[in-house]
Structure 1
Amino acid sequence: MLNLWDIAAIDQHAHNLLNPSATKRYPYTAAFTEGYHPDIINHHARYSLFYRRSLRDIAQLLDCEPTEAVILEHRRQLGLEKLTQKCFHASNLEAIFLDDGFLPGDIMPLEWHQQFVPVQRILRLEYLAEKLIIETDDFKTFWEQFRSQIDPPSAGIVGFKSVAAYRTGLDIQWTPKEFAKQRFYEIKPTSSQSLRLSDKPFIDFVITQALEIASKYQLPIQFHTGFGDPDLDLRLSNPLYLRSLLEDKRFENVPIVLLHAAYPYSQEAGYLASVYPQVYLDFGLAVPFLSHAGMRRTVQQLLELTPTSKLMYSSDAHNIPELYYLGAKWGREVLSQVLDGAIHDGDLTAKEAESVAYAILCDNARKLYLEKS
Structure 2
Amino acid sequence: MNLADIPLIDQHAHNVLRPEVAARYPFAAAFTEGYDEEIVNYHARHTLFYRRSLREIAALLECDATESAIAARRDSLGLEKLTQLYFQAANLEAIYLDDGLETESILPISWHEKLISVRRILRLEVLAEQLIPQSEDFASFLARFHSEIDPPPSGVIGFKSIVCYRTGLNVQPVTFEVAASRFDEIKRQLNNQPLRLVDKPLIDFLLQQALLIAAKYRLPVQLHTGFGDPDLDLRLANPLNLRSLLEQPQYRHAPLVLLHASYPYMQEAGYLAAVYPQVYLDFGLAIPSLSVSGMRAAIGQLLELTPTTKLMYSSDAHSIPELYYLGAKWGRQLLKEVLEQAIQDGDLTGDEAFAIATAILRENALSLYNPQL
Instruction: Report the TM-score range of the alignment, normalised by the length of the smaller protein.
Output: over 0.9
Amino acid at match of 2:64: E
Give, in whole Å, the separation in 1 of the partners of 2:26 and 2:176.
44
Name the CA distance, whole Å, in 2 between partners of 1:246 and 1:190: 34
Alignment of 1:195 with 2:202, yes or no, is no
Amino acid in structure 1 at the alignment position of 2:192: S
Matches within 5 A, 1:13-24: 13-24=12-23
**Which secondary structure does the structure 1 equivalent of 2:78 belong to?**
helix
**Counterpart of 2:77?**
78
Could you tell me how far 1:102 is from its partner in structure 2? 0.2
Contact 2:157 2:371 in 1 (8 A): no
Normalised by the size of structure 2, how large is the TM-score? Answer: 0.98
Name 1:25's counterpart in structure 2.
Answer: 24
Alpha-carbon distance, 1:136 to partner: 1.6
Q: For residues 223-276 of structure 1, what are the alpha-carbon distances to aligned partners after superposition, in whole Å with 9 as ceiling and x for unaligned?
A: 000000001000000000000110000000110000000000000000000000
What is the letter of the counterpart of residue 110 of structure 1?
Answer: I
Aligned to 1:183: 182
**Structure 2: how far apart are the matches of 1:308 and 1:371?**
21
Matches of 2:26 and 2:245 in 1, distance apart? Answer: 39
- Identify the residue that residue 311 of structure 2 maps to in structure 1: 311
Q: Report deviation, 1:284.
A: 0.1
Secondary structure of 1:370's partner? Answer: coil
**Take 2:271 and 2:23, find their aligned partners in 1: how far apart are those partners?**
43
Code of the residue aligned with 2:287 in structure 1: it is: V
1:229 aligns to 2:232 (yes or no)? no
The corresponding residue for 1:291 is 291
RMSD between aligned alpha carbons?
Answer: 0.9
Counterpart check, 1:8 vs 2:17? no
Cα deviation for residue 191 of structure 1 reads 3.5
* SS of equivalent to 2:226: coil
User: Aligned pair in 2 of structure 1 residues 371, 114: CA closer, same or farther (>3 Å)?
Assistant: closer
Offset, 1:21: 1.6
3-state DSSP of counterpart to 2:257? strand
CA contact (8 A) 2:4 2:332 kept: yes
Deviations 1:267-323 (A, max 9, x none): 000000000011000000000000000000000000000000000000000000000
Q: Distance in 2 between matches of 1:190 and 1:363?
A: 45
Structure 2 alignment gaps of length 5 or more: none
Partner in structure 2 of residue 363 of structure 1: 363
Give the superposition deviation at 1:371: 7.0
How high is the sequence identity, in percent, across the aligned residues? 63
Partner SS state of residue 6, structure 1: coil
Amino acid at match of 2:97: L
Matching of residues 29-178 of structure 1 within 5 Å = 29-178=28-177
Deviation at 1:192?
Answer: 3.1
- Verify the 8 A CA contact 2:63 2:70 in the aligned structure 1: yes
Moved beyond 6 Å, runs of 4+: none
Whole-angstrom distance in 2 between the partners of 1:33 and 1:56: 17
1:280 aligns with 2:277: no
SS at match of 1:26: coil
Q: Distance in 1 between matches of 2:251 and 2:190?
A: 35
Q: Does structure 1 conserve the Cα–Cα contact (< 8 Å) formed by 2:222 and 2:256? A: yes
Other-structure match for 2:333: 333
Shift of 1:138: 1.5
Secondary structure, aligned partner of 1:116: coil
2:220 maps to amino acid: P
* Bigger Cα displacement from structure 2, 19-28 vs 161-170: 19-28
Unaligned runs of 5+ residues in structure 1 are none
The CA deviation string for residues 85-141 of structure 1, in whole angstroms up to 9 with x for no partner, is 101111111110000000000000001101111000000001100110122222111
Deviation at 1:70, TM superposition (A): 0.5
1-side partners of 2:150 and 2:236: how far apart? 30
CA distance in 2, matches of 1:265, 1:304: 13
SS at match of 2:157: strand
Question: Residue 298 of structure 1 aligns to a residue in which SS?
Answer: helix
Counterpart-to-counterpart distance in 1, 2:23 and 2:127: 27
Counterpart residue identity of residue 43, structure 1:
Y
Aligned amino acid, residue 320 of structure 1: I
SS at match of 2:185: helix
Separation in structure 1 between the aligned mates of residue 137 and residue 71 of structure 2, nearest angstrom? 49
Name the aligned partner's letter for residue 47 of structure 1.
H
C-alpha separation in 1, matches of 2:30 and 2:302 = 25
Segment of structure 1 superposing worse, 138-147 or 267-276:
138-147
1:52-79 per-position Cα deviation (integer Å, ceiling 9, x unaligned): 0000110011011111110011111111
Amino acid at match of 2:57: I
Matched, 1:352 2:352: yes
1:140-172 CA deviation, whole Å, 9 max, x = no partner? Answer: 111011000000001110000010110100000
Larger displacement relative to structure 2 (128-137 or 28-37): 128-137
- Deviation, structure 1 residue 190: 3.0
Query: SS at the partner of 2:13?
Result: strand
Residue range with higher mean Cα deviation, 311-320 or 74-83: 74-83
Determine if the alignment matches structure 1 residue 249 to structure 2 residue 218: no
CA contact (8 A) 2:119 2:371 kept: no
Say which SS state the counterpart of residue 94 (structure 2) adopts.
Answer: strand
User: Whole-Å Cα distance in 2 between the matches of residues 371 and 287 of structure 1?
Assistant: 24
